[in-house]
Structure 1
Amino acid sequence: MLEDKFSEVSASLLSAYDSGELLGALDEGHSGWQKWVKGFSKSLKRKGKSLFMPLRVLLMGKLHGPGMGPSILLLYKAGKSGVAAAEVGFITLDERFNMLRQLDWDSLNQDQPQPEPAASLSS
């Protein structure tokens, strides 16, 4: 995922969060989330796995799991209402986005193994 411009997805997601666009969509519930994802998809020119895998990792911290819509809405509502305590390991959306802001994408990209050059076919 790092090789697939993962940092650009993160930057766009942070921008949508900081502008209030994402939170406004979540306030509208499931239909707001769906509408936001559709617009986000178009702005990034991504769809399917190339959109949802990075979103899932950035928002949920997992590669696999239940549906994103219901999960992100639950995270949003639980964090907003304060119903889940930090003692149980609950991380609010605000905390998740603060974590994303602290990531050093350049360092992560440098830690990735570089592709080996193709072997020469000449003898």
Structure 2
Amino acid sequence: MMSLSVIISADGKPILEDKLPEVAASLLSAYDCGELRQALEEGHAGWQKWVKSFGKVLKRKGKSLFMPLRLLLTGKLHGPDMGASIVLLYKAGKWGVISPQVGFISLAERIEALGGLDWESFKGEPEAQLESTLSH
């Protein structure tokens, strides 16, 4: 499940306000067309190549690229190397070895959750969106 509380937190809000919905839409598109999945099939090097290309398309680099990606793909603001983590989540989900009981969801499940978010509702009362999403 997408950790919406992080998005609307004091630390997450600047990332949300830096056109996070646009980054999310581009990320979903890259996943849906197979571009991101193909990169992850190639492992860490594929991830790095994809991120560089993705950043060029969005005209983002450094923190303005990695913080939104980390938040969207992991639901967290901090953590271990993103490339290794995302490749691991992708492959573990593909092989069916991720269990929600241990607090992990597959990359496919995270992408599905992102696709279901109503980004417009974050402009109004984000707490209402949080409550609505968490109750499903």
What TM-score results when the alignment is normalised by the length of structure 2?
A: 0.79
Paired with 1:95 and 1:62, the residues of 2 have a C-alpha distance of: 16
Match for 2:93: what amino acid? G
Report the CA distance between 1:2 and its aligned residue: 1.8
- 1:97 corresponds to: 111
The C-alpha deviation readout for 1:52-85, integer Å capped at 9, x for no partner, is 0000000000000011000001101111111222
Residues 1-123 of structure 1: pairs in structure 2 closer than 5 A: 1-111=15-125
The C-alpha deviation readout for 1:1-55, integer Å capped at 9, x for no partner, is 1211110000000000000000000001111101100000000000000000000
Match for 1:81: what amino acid? W
Q: Secondary structure at the match of 2:61?
A: coil
Q: Secondary structure at the match of 2:55?
A: helix
Paired with 1:106 and 1:90, the residues of 2 have a C-alpha distance of: 27
Calculate percent identity across the aligned residue pairs. 69
- Superposed structure 1 runs of 4+ greater than 6 Å apart: none
Match for 1:25: what amino acid? A
**Structure 2 gaps, min length 5:** 1-14, 127-136
Paired with 2:78 and 2:31, the residues of 1 have a C-alpha distance of: 22
Report the CA distance between 1:102 and its aligned residue: 1.1
Alignment RMSD? 1.1
Structure 1 contact 2–109 (Cα < 8 Å) conserved: no
**Structure 1 gaps, min length 5:** 113-123
1:84–1:3 distance in 2 versus 1, CA, 3 Å: closer
Paired with 2:110 and 2:44, the residues of 1 have a C-alpha distance of: 20
Structure showing greater radius of gyration is 1
What TM-score results when the alignment is normalised by the length of structure 1?
A: 0.87
